[in-house]
Amino acid sequence: MLVEDFDIENGWRHSLTVDHRSNGTVFSRGSGSLPLSLDHHRGSPFENLYTELGDYDFSSGGSACAAPTRAPATPTGT
């Protein structure tokens, strides 16, 4: 899915979301009146691209017991 040339006028808790096992999503040339919140749900979203965005943050949420909020791009120890 391609989402491009957007402007989010209001503040949202999760401005841009990729959910469980979502893949191939591209958010391009977007901005907001407040910094965008890039929301990555657990459940293995992969190969999603954010490019040419305005201000954004990497605030993570959710239950700490669900899974780590981030992982290395490549396996460690290789």
DSSP annotation of 73 = S
pLDDT at 43: 73
Residue 38 belongs to a domain: yes
pLDDT at 71: 59
Residue 69 belongs to a domain: no
pLDDT in tens, the chain (78 residues): 999 999 999 877 778 888 888 899 999 999 999 999 888 777 778 888 999 999 988 666 666 676 666 655 565 555
26-61: string of b/e by CB count within 10 Å (b at 16+)? Answer: ebeebbbebebbbbbbeeebeebeeeebeebeeeee
Domain count of the fold of the chain: 1
Residue 19 belongs to a domain: yes
Count the residues in the chain.
78
Q: Global pTM?
A: 0.72
